[in-house]
Amino acid sequence: MAKDPFLSVDDEARGLAKNLMRTVRSGALATNDAESGMPFASLVQVGTDLDGSPVILTSQLSVHTRLLEADPRCSLLLSSVGKGDPLAHPRLTLLATAQRLNRESPETQQIRRRYLLQHPKAELYVDFPDFAFWRLAVVSGSLNGGFGRAYRMAKEDLLADLSEFFDFYDFEAQAVEHMNEDHADAVALYATQLCGAREGAWRLIGIDPEGVQMALGDEILRLFFPRALTGPHEVRPMLIRLANEARGRIS
């Protein structure tokens, strides 16, 4: 009997997968072509919803849009980029069902806000009438963390729990704006001192129960909280704690 190549999922594997989902800006989307019976792969720009679910913005002119409308089952490959052998770097394959979002709904407007923070250049076309947002409802995932590190992952391993975060979109929007306008120095310290990133005008672009996202140009960083938060009331104390920790690392 062949040996099972998959390892038991642990917190390190979950963190690696979630980091890919929150920082990779594009991925390969595979859809189903019923007419030919063949899979169809496209490069798509990827954002995330609050729980980490991938979000894509597509044009009605795109082949993959028409295929998703006919069959919403899809797969998304996310891969980190680095020097050397591409197969030595982590990558994550997500199996999902695509859900087209009503562009006029309040939820979609919040997703639009978050997506543009992650992909500001998309503002040039985001409101074209033939464009629409899709949320990829994750079913499961397959993580390859490098040679000999393969994991089968359930939806619960990949997405943040939002059950106690009611109306969090508005809270997040206000917190992100406040941090960027009044505490830009703290955001920069999160990036440089806690994530080891280069110096620059880092901006906060997302807050969720498990961490924050920051961006500088086309680079996105993920900073995980020491523990998952239990509600919005814990956001401010956690951000203060991280700022104090970052300042304490400055020699």
Give pLDDT, residue 149.
86
pLDDT in tens, 106-162: 999 999 999 999 999 999 999 999 999 999 999 999 999 877 789 999 999 999 999
Number of domains comprising the chain: 2
186 and 238, same domain (yes or no): yes
Tokens at 16, concatenated: 């690696």
154 and 173, same domain (yes or no): no
From 137, 158, 179, give the residue that closes a domain.
158
Q: How far apart are CA 71 and CA 45, in angstroms?
A: 20
| Sign of the torsion angle spanned by Cα atoms 6, 11, 16, 18 | positive
87 and 122, same domain (yes or no): yes
Q: How far apart are CA 242 and CA 247, in angstroms?
A: 9
CATH number at residue 178: 3.20.180.10
132 and 230, same domain (yes or no): no
pLDDT band (50, 70, 90) for residue 199: very high
Nearest CA-CA partner of 49 in 156, 162, 157, 139: 162
- pTM of this structure: 0.94
Structural domain boundaries, residue 194? 168-248
Give pLDDT, residue 108.
97
pLDDT at 223 over 70: yes
Average pLDDT over residues 74-88: 86
CATH number at residue 65: 2.30.110.10
pLDDT in tens, 176-197: 999 999 999 999 999 999 999 9
What single DSSP character describes residue 190?
A: I
In-domain check, residue 163: no
Tokens at 31, concatenated: 């859809």
Tokens at 146, concatenated: 């490098």
**Cβ contact 211:227 at 8 Å:** no
